[in-house]
Structures are given as structure tokens and as C-alpha cells.
Amino acid sequence: MRLALAAALLVVAALLALSLGVRPLGLAEVWHAIAAFDPRNPDHVAVRLVRLPRVVAGLIAGAGLGIAGSVMQGLTRNPLADPGILGVSAGSALAVVLGSLFLARADSGSLAFLAFPGAALAAVAVFALGGALRGDAGPVRLVLAGAALNALLLSLVSAVVLTRSDSLEVFRFWVNGSLAQAGERPLASMALVALAGSLLAFAAAPVLETLSLGNTMARGLGTRLLRAQGIALLVVTLLTGASVAVAGPVAFLGLMVPPLARRLAGHALRAELVASALLGAALLLLADTLGRLVIAPAELRVGLMSALVGGPIFVLLVRRLPLGSRA
């Protein structure tokens, strides 16, 4: 029943994203634009070529970051874990930006796949720096390592994009994240990658659940730790890479969604993953729609909107950590 509420919220968020904007449209007109597209009708063009790709990108990025956040929090036993905060998203962004600099003739679809090695290297780096691979990382130690790596990588992204003639628009996308111009992104291929990562997380959920019990307990249950950690990192890499390829780095979404998902679905990981996908996509679409309305006809990028909400939640979670975890 609660998952049905999350699904209903996602449907409402998608409909709002399709109907609201500089020129509001009725649901009937939105349906006609999708089912009976008329290229001579400007409203139909706005829905099919602008708003619908934004919704698809929001579904991919929101669901991917929601699931990645749940997997990371279970893997690290850390309520502050998030692909954005721990630098994984910034690693993806840097890899794509460097690819666009050195492979100027490559198409955007090919460059998007560079997000995956970037995410993988950043994930391994922050886990190694924070001590998670040795099993001795406290929540704050891992967050500090991730924050330092995230700041370094985003600084490198800024340094690279500011060398380009179109640096302002590129900078906005690769630093703040955005669903604008989503039609230019490789949505179909990234949707397949995100689906593969989601299915892998769902299939490996029983193994991933043991990681949240601690290394000693997981070994006692017969879990092969390196294999399980490798699967978790692969899931995070696939989902974060696909999300960054279509929406840029969006911070705090993977932090906010898992606690909400656990309230809806309980602590069974498979149910939590479904709830995380639904809530992540819904919240990202709502943030994007609100960002297009608050200063219309201009817009606030979705990365800024998520940070406005996620920043205070991050501070609240840090304050609620037990004292023993602050060392």
C-alpha cells in the first residue's frame, strides 16, 4: 500500500513536469502532444521535444541516485553516504569533461560512457581513503574523505570547463546538474545501463543486506566480503554513471531518499530499493518543476534545488549521529 503511494507520487510528479512551465498546458493537450504529435503546434513541440525528455532524464537520474544511495548506505553502514557527497558523481563528471576536452570529435553518446570509469575510480578512492575497504571507517571519517575528494574533483571540473568558449553553460551542467537540454543526452542507452544496475542490486539484495550487519557478522553468515563489496561498487558505478550522463552531478538526492524509503518499505532491502527508485524519481522531477517556476521564465537548476533541500537534512543527520561515530 505504501509503495503504491510512492508510485502515485511519481505519476503526479511526471504529470506536473509535463504540464507546468512558462506556458501551462492541460493534461488533455499533453496527451494529444504525445499520442498525436503535430510539429506545427508549438505546444506539442514543447511537450515532445523539451518536457518529455526532461521527464525521462529525471526518471533515470532520480531512480538511479535513489537506489545508489540505499546501496551505499547499506555498504558503509553510514546514514550520510551519498554518491554526490562522497565524490562519485564528481568523478563521473570529471571523466566526461576530460573526454570532451581530449576527444573533441567524439559524439555525446560515446563521451557519456566515460562517466562509468570515472565513477568507479572515485568510489574506490573514497572507500580506500575513508578506510571502508579495511572495515574500520566511521561515518564521519568516510564523509570527510568523500567531501575532500568531491571538492578536489569539482575544482578540476571547473578548471577544465572554464577553458572552453561555451564554458558558462557547460559549467552549469557539470557542476550544478540540470535536466535542461535532456533531448541531447543519450537517454536510451543510459536507461538500459540504469536498468541493468537496478536489476543487479535487486538480485544481489540478500548478499548486500549482510554487509549492513558489519564485516564480522557478514563473514559469520558465509558472505564473501570482497565479492559482495565489489557487487555493491559495481551497482553504484552503473547507476551513478548513468545518472550523471543524463543530469550531471545532483547532490543530496541519494542522501534524502533512503531514509524516506525505509519509512515506507521497512528494512527489507528489495522493498527499500523499489521505494528508493520511486521516491528518487518523484523528488527529482518535483525539484526540476519547482526550479522552472520560481523565477520563470528563467530557471534554477535541479542540482541547486536539491541542495537547498538536502543541505539542511545533511546537517540534521550529522547532528543526530551518536558521539562515538564522530571520531
DSSP string, 63-126: HHHHHHHHHHHHHHT-TT--TTTTTHHHHHHHHHHHHHHH-TTS-HHHHHTTHHHHHHHHHHHH
- What pLDDT does 221 receive? 72
- CA–CA distance, 287 with 129 (Å, rounded to integer): 32
pTM (whole model) above 0.85: yes
Indicate the burial class of 22 (C-beta count within 10 angstroms; 0-12, 13-18, 19 or more): exposed
- What pLDDT does 327 receive? 38
Asked whether 97 and 108 are in contact (CB, 8 A), the reply is no
Minimal CA–CA distance to 320: which of 78, 65, 67, 50? 78
CA 45 to each of CA 33, 39, 51, 192, 271: distance values in angstroms, whole numbers, following the listed order: 8, 6, 9, 26, 38
- CA–CA distance, 193 with 197 (Å, rounded to integer): 6
Residue 276 CA neighbour count, 13 Å, CB half: 33
CA 324 to each of CA 129, 131, 168: distance values in angstroms, whole numbers, following the listed order: 20, 17, 44
Domain 2-326 has CATH 1.10.3470.10: yes
Minimal CA–CA distance to 153: which of 240, 71, 84? 84
Per-residue pLDDT of the chain (327 residues; tens, 9 = 90+): 678 889 999 999 999 999 998 888 889 999 998 888 888 888 899 899 999 999 999 999 999 999 999 998 888 777 777 888 788 888 888 888 888 777 765 666 677 888 899 888 988 888 777 665 565 555 667 777 888 888 888 888 888 877 766 656 666 677 778 888 888 888 999 999 999 999 999 998 888 888 777 767 777 777 777 788 788 889 999 999 999 989 988 888 888 898 888 888 887 889 999 999 999 999 999 999 988 888 878 788 888 888 887 777 767 766 665 544 433
- What pLDDT does 240 receive? 92
- CA–CA distance, 303 with 289 (Å, rounded to integer): 12
Where are the domains positioned within the chain?
2-326
- What pLDDT does 139 receive? 60
3-state secondary structure 13-54: HHHHHHHCCCCCCCHHHHHHHHHCCCCCCHHHHHHHHHHHHH
- What pLDDT does 104 receive? 65
